Chain A
Amino acid sequence: MSAQSCWDAPRQFVRAQLRGRGLVEDRRTTVSGTKLDPKRLDRDETDPRRQVGDPGNETSPGANANPRSASEDESGRLGLVPRANPSRRTAAKRPPKSQLPKRRAQTPRPKSRRSQFAYAATIVLFLAPSAIPLLLFTFVPMVRAAWTSLHQWNMLSPMRWVGLDNYVKAIHDPATQHAFFNTLYYIVGYLPLVFVGGLGLALALNAAIPLRSWLRGVYFLPVVTSWIVVALVWRWLLNPSVGIVNYLLGLIGIDGPGWWTDPSWAMPSIILASVWKDLGFVMIILLAGLQTIPTDLYEAARLDGAGWWSRLIHVTLPMLSPTSFFVVVISLINGFQVFDQVYAMTGGGPAGASQVVVEKVYDLTFRYGQAGLASAISWLLFIVILGVTVIQMIGQRKWVNND
């Protein structure tokens, strides 16, 4: 083990604390982790149709018709598509709730105390690889950040107890309010663009066009690229004097803006780069969702005389709503935690015009020696994200079509 890796551990620790991820892991670590979908978790627990040979499946009409298997295999060959949600294929034909058995028939029931223990040990063993890091690098830092937020601390001297002063200061500090405003600005700009763009790509690449698999890979490539690299490339593309973007704009007679050197263009620059990078992620999730929509619905719609647009509005979008909901929740949480691209592209400048909450936390902690205030802001951000997510979870029942 080198000295370097020993140094990395505490940095990762602090970084994890800084990110303060409360509910959902960073998508970069869970690209295939569509199981995070709270709906799906729910269903895994309760939906008996997931069980092989479950009688519920037999009763649903047309369950053995598997119109999408060909395209699923194709996306599987690409190796990038999460094989999400096979149960959704039959979602449209869910039998009435009353017919469903109340409990899983196949749940293993440990008989003796000894086998009960073995059963528990097995669960612990399989949970440990994800539970231990989650505990050490998320929950422990969160609790410690809460403790730190009640102190004044420059990370060198001993902590000094200040109670809730940091929270009062954070809420009344114009710079912090500005950082929250900028984060909101980022989300408002980023979310619609990345969703509509990703949906457009998913629709296009769900159709039978040449080089489809290859194009899916191409659009997914930025997702697996490091943010630092992407940010430096975009910084260069958007360079006000020698950048390609302004050169191309110049060719069609437009005098390009100052991009990241201009306070009114700094955030649009970051949004542009972020949308470009995340399009592939949204596309791949929506593509998986699209492939779970049964073709017979489209056939029925076509027989009824529905055109392309009507089919999109009345079949595709409603059937896609669970997947869309998942994408929006994930993108929104990631939007609140935006940091890498801001740090690498503008450093929060010019003059704080693109300073976002997590960047503010970073500056306060590591540059301005105010770890207590930074921890308080982290917790405020956590509360905001938690609130927004709870609202979405409640609204989900209303907005998401499950039939």
Chain B
Amino acid sequence: MKTNHTKLASAVVVVLAGLSLAACSTGGDPQTGGNSGGDSTEPVTITYTNFISSGANEANLDTIVKAFEDENPGIKVEVTTMPYADYFTALQTDIVAGTVADVFDIEYANYGAYQASGVLAAIDGVDTSVYQSSLAEAYATDGTQYALPSSFSNVVLFYNKDLFDAAGVAYPSDDWTWADEKAAAEALTNQEAGVWGDYQPISYNEYYKAVAQAGGEFLSADGKTAAFNSDPGLAAAAWLTEKSGTVMPTAEMGAGTADFDTNLFADGKLAMWHTGIWMFGSLAEADFAWDIAVEPGDTQKASAMFSNAIAISATSKHQEAAAKWAAYMTSSDTMVDVRLAAGWELPPIADQSKLDAYLTAGAPANRQAVFDSLKAVALAPSIGDNQTQMQDDVTNALTEIAAGRQTIAEAIPATATAVDALLG
């Protein structure tokens, strides 16, 4: 009896271990473990982790996945969606733990660090001529493609037409400068009614762009030193921080916390709002008239452009199937149609005629501003391993200036020194 029990116990342990291993393997089905993918006789399941659909576009991503699976009966795509704020922490943990998905999202700012670390598979046999060349090139290193651009977006000036009408202020136009924006913001702010004239996040992502708008550079041309300890850099810091408390709510009122600005604008309490075109969807039900314009510049126009990309894990066992999905998710007509219909950022494709539908897809009316903004782009600096620390340092300095705890003259030079150290 005793030996029987022991055998039974051992058997149970072995079976349980086997089950958990099978469930944990990224391939899902053990039968396809050694399959290189793409073989239509045996189904392959690939995993895809993303942040681009998080928040408003999960159903749109599902539509694209279903269309892909219909066209490729041998491949199943298992999707995991995470919010952007947690995404890169989770991705890094998964890479270290060896549990990373076959296909995953990255963004331009961290492409360099991932590529250099060897976690991205080289993508061969994908026709990159279907992408806008500048976007495809951004994700190629030494002539080899390591990721495919999946979308791009930019930041424009949203404005509430009703508030402008009520205050008798002219709508923003393409020839507006900072001075025009400031004058309008002051005229539109009515603190007693809880209405604010302007909202621009006090952060690194606004700062490098504002430096360019003031005619300066964030980094030197060779990328080895910080270049924002200059007149344009100081002017940009003043532009971002002086709004707080005058035409824009302060941090103590909630500025900078999640969804604060979105709610303020959606409630009709904010006249002008600097934010990305990914917000179109969340304003679909706004009960006031709103539109967008190209962001005003100081001495020149410069708009922020963000691009996302899809990469394949170097450790994926299904390279071929993964590449098929990555190409489909970044260049298929289904993807283009779904994105344009939903106003879900912009597809990275080269064929501009396919983008025409975007211009007439609904509110806001002036969608041409999205393309006009691309004429003068301030590219995000990408410095590798210390990227996040640099961004935090700059954001912290600006926050301290806005709160009145440091002056521009002391905070900006100190931050430039700190960034120099991170570059070295």
Shortest Cβ gap from B205 to chain A (Å): 16
A22 interface contact, C-beta 8 A: no
Q: Given A154-B117, A155-B92, A350-B399: A7 and B23 within 8 A (CB)?
A: no
Q: How far is the CA of A403 from the CA of B414 in the complex (A)?
A: 60
Name A156's contact: one of B24, B119, B251, B403 (CB within 8 Å).
Answer: B119
B386 interface contact, C-beta 8 A: yes
Across-interface contacts of A10 in B (CB, < 8 A): 93-94, 96-99
Across-interface contacts of B252 in A (CB, < 8 A): 240-241, 258, 261-262
Shortest Cβ gap from A387 to chain B (Å): 30
Q: How far is the CA of A261 from the CA of B255 in the complex (A)?
A: 10
Across-interface contacts of B118 in A (CB, < 8 A): 156-157
Q: Given A10-B99, A241-B252, A369-B113: A1 and B23 within 8 A (CB)?
A: yes
Q: How far is the CA of A117 from the CA of B47 in the complex (A)?
A: 49
B386 adjacent to A11 (CB under 8 Å): no
Name A368's contact: one of B94, B97, B254, B389 (CB within 8 Å).
Answer: B389
Name A351's contact: one of B24, B92, B399 (CB within 8 Å).
Answer: B399
Across-interface contacts of B117 in A (CB, < 8 A): 154, 156-157
Across-interface contacts of B47 in A (CB, < 8 A): 3
Q: How far is the CA of A367 from the CA of B385 in the complex (A)?
A: 10
Across-interface contacts of A2 in B (CB, < 8 A): 23
Shortest Cβ gap from B270 to chain A (Å): 16
Q: How far is the CA of A271 from the CA of B250 in the complex (A)?
A: 24
Q: How far is the CA of A216 from the CA of B410 in the complex (A)?
A: 53
Shortest Cβ gap from A146 to chain B (Å): 17
A366 adjacent to B396 (CB under 8 Å): no
- Interface positions, chain A 365-402, Cβ under 8 Å from B, are 366-369
Shortest Cβ gap from A111 to chain B (Å): 21
Shortest Cβ gap from B50 to chain A (Å): 14
Q: How far is the CA of A335 from the CA of B117 in the complex (A)?
A: 37
* Chain B interface helix/strand/loop/mixed: helix
B80 interface contact, C-beta 8 A: yes
A14 interface contact, C-beta 8 A: yes
A155 adjacent to B96 (CB under 8 Å): yes
Q: How far is the CA of A241 from the CA of B114 in the complex (A)?
A: 42
- Interface positions, chain B 1-40, Cβ under 8 Å from A, are 19-20, 23-24
Shortest Cβ gap from B326 to chain A (Å): 20
B388 interface contact, C-beta 8 A: yes
Shortest Cβ gap from B379 to chain A (Å): 22
B375 interface contact, C-beta 8 A: no
Q: Given A3-B78, A3-B80, A241-B252: A156 and B114 within 8 A (CB)?
A: yes
Across-interface contacts of A11 in B (CB, < 8 A): 93, 97
- Interface positions, chain B 364-411, Cβ under 8 Å from A, are 385-386, 388-389, 392, 396, 399-400, 403, 405
Q: How far is the CA of A262 from the CA of B252 in the complex (A)?
A: 8
Chain B residue at minimal CB-CB distance from A157: B117
Chain A residue at minimal CB-CB distance from B117: A156
Q: Given A1-B20, A261-B252: A7 and B92 within 8 A (CB)?
A: no
Q: Given A13-B97, A156-B119, A366-B89: A6 and B23 within 8 A (CB)?
A: yes
Q: How far is the CA of A149 from the CA of B93 in the complex (A)?
A: 18
A1 adjacent to B24 (CB under 8 Å): yes
Most A C-beta atoms less than 10 A away, residue of B24, B47, B98, B116: B24
Shortest Cβ gap from B248 to chain A (Å): 14
Across-interface contacts of B93 in A (CB, < 8 A): 10-11, 14, 366
Across-interface contacts of A240 in B (CB, < 8 A): 252-253
A239 interface contact, C-beta 8 A: yes
B99 adjacent to A6 (CB under 8 Å): yes
Shortest Cβ gap from A248 to chain B (Å): 17
Q: Given A1-B23, A10-B94, A14-B93: A368 and B388 within 8 A (CB)?
A: yes
Chain B residue at minimal CB-CB distance from A154: B385
Q: How far is the CA of A6 from the CA of B396 in the complex (A)?
A: 36
Q: Given A258-B252, A366-B89: A14 and B20 within 8 A (CB)?
A: no
B95 interface contact, C-beta 8 A: yes
A351 adjacent to B396 (CB under 8 Å): yes
Q: How far is the CA of A352 from the CA of B418 in the complex (A)?
A: 15
Chain B residue at minimal CB-CB distance from A352: B396
Question: Contact mask A144-158 → B, CB, 8 Å, 1/0?
Answer: 000000000011110
Across-interface contacts of B80 in A (CB, < 8 A): 3
Q: How far is the CA of A156 from the CA of B89 in the complex (A)?
A: 12
Chain A residue at minimal CB-CB distance from B254: A241
Q: Given A1-B19, A1-B24: A350 and B99 within 8 A (CB)?
A: no
19 contacts between A and B (CB under 8 A): A2-B23, A3-B23, A3-B78, A3-B80, A6-B24, A11-B93, A13-B97, A154-B385, A156-B113, A156-B118, A156-B119, A258-B252, A261-B252, A263-B405, A349-B399, A350-B251, A350-B396, A351-B400, A367-B392
A sample of 15 more A-B contacts (CB under 8 A), given A157-B118, A369-B113, is A1-B19, A1-B20, A3-B23, A11-B93, A11-B97, A14-B96, A154-B113, A156-B114, A156-B117, A157-B116, A157-B117, A240-B253, A350-B251, A366-B89, A369-B92
Question: Which 9 residue pairs across A and B have the least CB separation, nearest first?
Answer: A10-B97, A156-B117, A1-B23, A240-B252, A6-B24, A157-B117, A241-B253, A366-B89, A368-B389
